[in-house]
Structures are given as C-alpha cells and as structure tokens.
Structure 1
C-alpha cells in the first residue's frame, strides 16, 4: 500500500478575470495558501498553459512546472475534459458545444473534431514533458440522446455507437501508449461512458486497451444511484485519477433522478462541497488506499449553495483529514513468535 497524495485542486471552476484567479502564478499562490499540494490544470485556458507550446517545447514545460514549484506544489495532471468531449458530438449538441473550441471552428464539426484529437495528442506530449502519467478527459457521446429507451432503440444502434466511439479513440489511445500516459475517462452523465457497463462496452471496442483508464468521481454515481463503493472493487486496477466531489440525492414525490428540468439548486440530485453531501469518503479513501491507488486526491468544486472560496478552503482540510498514512507493520506484530519452518510444520501436525 501507499499513502494517497494530496490535497490537490482542479483549477477550472475557479478561473475568472479577477485576481488571484486570472493567471497561473496568482492562482497557485492562492492554492498554496489554503494548503493544497498540487494543481490539476485545465488545458483549454491559455491563462494557465499554452498546451501546444508545452507539447513542443520542453523548456516551456519546465517553465510551467517551475511556476507551480515556486509555491511548493506539483502539477497532478493536465485535464482535457472539453477537448475529449469534442471527439464525439451528436449533431443535436453541436450548438451547445461550440464554445468548447476556437471561434473559427464554429459550424465546422469535422474540423472541430480534428482539432480536439490534436489537442489530446498535445496533452500526451506535454504530460510527458512535465513528467506526468495521466490525462483526465471525457469520452464524448454519440448515443446520449437515446439513454432512455423511448422511442424504442432500433436493434444494433448501441453496438454501432460504441463501435464508432472505439474507432475514434483507438488511435488516440495508441498515441498515449507510445508516450507512456494513461487516458482517464471521467465516467459522467452526458457521456457515452456514464457507468460501469458502458465503460466495459467501450473497453471491448478498444480491445481492453491498457491506456483506457478511469478518473473516479463518486458524485456522478450518487446522482445515478450506483454503488460507488463496489465500483472501486470492480475497477480499481483502472482508476488512475480521483476527484473529491460530494453530492446528494433527495427524491420527492415530484422528482427523482431526471430532475424535472430544474436548476441545480432545485434538483433531487445535486453536487455539493466536500463534506456537505452524502458521499462516504471515509470508505472511499480506505478502499483506494487498500488497492494501492498511486495518484492524487483532487478537490473539484461544484456546489450550488456554498461559495467557491469557502469550499476550497474547507476542501483542502477535508482531503487532508481523509488521507490515510499507511502502516508499515501489522497491528499484532507485538505478539509475533518469529519465523521458524520447523515450528510451522509442528503447528500443522506435519512433524
């Protein structure tokens, strides 16, 4: 076993035009002041990193790493959630996802997808330059509009959708294999990979690719009423990244998992700051430690009630208090009678 690293913070939800949230140096100084030990950097925000430049210039990557290091922190991972989303977009969602890519790609879905694939490749090379080993992302979705089977799905539709998704991701996964980096899909509603079954269907299409790994975020499973503890037992060998985000599910006689088109504040299922929801993080940290999780515990703030700066301050302490320093000995070592093969055979009645 090893001790989980942390606390870390995902910077995406904190970026703004006002200091200290408007550039890498300032937000690192702020993060360090709260007790964070790592930052997970969203690669679509040029104020934090020029992804293409980090892929092509080791000197620039070292500069970015140096800025973070000035504040006694590390880079945990480079996030490519928005670019991964654009690998597979159903036309019904084109307009909603236009903002995920440069303006010049508007109304150009083919060019937009090619841009997204290149961005993911840049992330692999940049991660290699930075000495990282995992890239969190989304899978994108061709099938999400059919997740509820009404009208009835035609036979073979799901299989064709996953076949195409695998076709799009396999070359990317191969590229990541060449660079020694894991692709960590965040299993998330709105993506074709939204639970364990869909992840397994995807794995089948990419031949159980060793780089097709997971980002574990239990909040999405609370909203789906999926057993997020047993999920770790099933997939711990593939979990290479971890978001500490809380959630709660409070169904009523008027709404449940679908939420009735309500705002986040008024939904039965909603995201909360760490410690304010229903997620059993004590068991999660125990499970991940038991299975020798080697990554970072990264706080992701998405709360419909609490102020983000308060959530961040509390989140750093919350993660710190849940990390388990692993033991290097058994609790009953004091009663050990030593190792003696002759004694062992005697106890077994063999001599």
Structure 2
C-alpha cells in the first residue's frame, strides 16, 4: 500500500483520491463556486476534482474552450487549494445527444430554457457542448472526459412487446451517427471520451458498449468510465468486466452499492424510492463492492487514471460520505511493484545457458 499521504504525481499508477463535484453543488459556501469547492475538497484530503460543466457555477465552458489564459486561471485556483482538475464532465449534455420522445419532457430540464420543446435544436446544442468540452479539456491539460451516451432504445430494453427486426440495429446505427463527429473532435484534441455505462442510457453494459464500438468503427477515442455500482445493480460480474474491457477503461468512479432482493422486489425495483429498492447506492465501505480486488485488477492492467469518489447514498449524509471518501480511496491505492519479490535470488541468464538447462546442448 502507499504511504498515508501518497502524491498523485508519484510513480505511474492509479491517481487519487478525487471527488466528483456534481452531487455537492449548492447556493451557499463552500459549494457555490470553483474556488470554494476546491478549497473544501482539498481540506478533506482530495487531490483531484472532477468538474461538471452544465451552467457556469464551476466554469464557463465556452470560455474554457476558447481561452488558454482562462484555463490557466482555473488551474491556478485549484493549485492554490492543493487540488487539480482530474476530468471535466458533460453527463447531462451527453444525455441530450440522444433522447427518446417519451423522455423529452423530463430531459428538457437539462437544456437552456429557450431550447425546451425543441428536441432537434436541443440535440445540436448538446453536440456543440461536447465539442467545446473536448477543446476545454485539451487546454486544461486533461486526457479523459466523462459523459453519458443518451438513449433511443431504453423504452425497448425489455423485449415485450416483441421488438421488430432491425430496431436495435437502427438505434445503435443512429447513436453512432450522432457520436462519431464528437469522437472525431476528441481525437483532434487528443482526449479520450469515456462513457459511464449506466441504466437509462443505451450504453449500460458490455454488450451495448460493443454494439456502439461497432457503430463508430472501433473509434480509438471511445472508452469506458468504469463504475462498479451500476454493474452490481445489474447483477453483472464487475471484476470480470475489468479483465474483459481493461484496454478501454480510462476513468473510474469509486462508488459503492448493494443488492438485496426479497420476495417482493428485485432488479426492477417495483417503482420504489431509493431507500426501499433492493438495489441501492451506498457510501464507500457500506455496500457490497469488493474494492480491494478492483484496485488490484486496475493496477495489474496498468490503469493510470484517477480514482474519483461519486457520492450517491440514500442513507448517509453527503458531508459524512465526502469526509470518509478520501481516506477510503487512499487506503486502497497501490504503488505498483517495480521489481519481482524474488529478484534477490536471481540467476544469471543467457540463451546458451537456457538451452543447456533444457537439455538442448
């Protein structure tokens, strides 16, 4: 394990602890602006902050995309608080890249007021927001960006009534058409676009991510934001997921969850509130996620991105969750071994010696 206060700039490995600010935004200090949020996060022991970009509370996305001086100012604000920006997030704007009409009324709340009730213009705005985020990320010196895919097919996730042939294929083809120009923009800026696989999005598991990769020609900038809580609540093998998709995992939300089905309710949750659902998000250490194995696997496969707390708990207060999150992540960080444990007993090697040991000479 690393020392009690590992540097996020230490030997290559998982960086952290980081914290996603979205769930903590508010109108009162210290949650009202970037300077106060950075100071608050730094005081709790976080070294990175993942910054939402909808609205202007944390930053002006348009300005960040256009002005290097502004981005340098943002970095300076964070550095003064002892933190750095780990990634930007366009979760809400990304959701608006693809919205099934059944959800128009709800998702309109994420768009500017003048675009509500105008789904085509709303989608164009969302696509532009992603492209701005690519440029802003590059100016901030970031290498990865967090988003959602949006969904055209989610109302059809359960195959009843029977889905007509070609429906799923056309849904992913259209999703690919909408995201390909965005992925190309991220390629131009040298930034990975990481989709959080999440129920409610068309990209919510490994199969749907593979379908999407096919639709965008295996695009080199299409990657995964790994969040084990969403995989646990779908009853997936979240450790085997790392074995299978580690080459595409470029971001990591450290979020806990539990799944306790009973005789009344299971994965679908019976339309119950979060407190009553069998599947619930929990604060770190209070759920069922095996984080020791996750950090070990990510270290084994050479993951060098941030470990970022996303706090979403239906029981514990956010202040307690945030305070407990930094030491929890820090305790799980691993300094990757630079030599084998048995190197002290190493032997001289040569091609001729190896052949003799095999009885070939």
TM-score category of the 2 structures, normalised to the smaller one = over 0.9
Q: Deviations over 1:241-273 (max 9, x none)?
A: 000000000000000000000000000001001
Distance (whole Å) between structure 1 residues aligned to residue 59 and residue 214 of structure 2: 34
Q: Deviations over 1:45-76 (max 9, x none)?
A: 41101000000111001111110111121111
Asked whether the 8 Å contact 1:243–1:297 carries over to 2, the reply is: yes
User: Which of 200, 217, 221 is matched with 2:231 structurally?
Assistant: 221
Helix, strand or coil at the partner of 1:264: coil
The answer to whether residue 217 in structure 2 is matched with residue 207 in structure 1 is yes
1:338 alignment partner in structure 2? 348
Helix, strand or coil at the partner of 1:237: helix
Asked whether the 8 Å contact 2:39–2:82 carries over to 1, the reply is: no
User: Which of 168, 180, 189 is matched with 2:190 structurally?
Assistant: 180
Asked whether the 8 Å contact 1:2–1:289 carries over to 2, the reply is: no
Distance (whole Å) between structure 1 residues aligned to residue 234 and residue 347 of structure 2: 50
Distance (whole Å) between structure 2 residues aligned to residue 319 and residue 106 of structure 1: 40
Q: Deviations over 1:126-159 (max 9, x none)?
A: 0010010111100000000010111111111101
Asked whether the 8 Å contact 1:80–1:136 carries over to 2, the reply is: yes
> Structure 1 regions of 5+ residues with no counterpart?
none
> Structure 2 regions of 5+ residues with no counterpart?
1-10
Report deviation, 1:347: 1.3
1:126 alignment partner in structure 2? 136
Asked whether the 8 Å contact 2:257–2:281 carries over to 1, the reply is: yes
Q: TM-score, normalised by structure 2?
A: 0.96
1:180-199 equivalences under 5 Å are 180-199=190-209
Consecutive aligned runs of 4 or more in structure 1 exceeding 4 Å deviation: none
Report deviation, 1:342: 3.7
User: Which of 9, 12, 31 is matched with 1:21 structurally?
Assistant: 31
Report deviation, 1:290: 0.5
Root-mean-square deviation (Å): 1.0
Q: Deviations over 1:275-321 (max 9, x none)?
A: 11000111100010011001000000000000111101111011000
Helix, strand or coil at the partner of 2:75: helix
Q: TM-score, normalised by structure 1?
A: 0.98
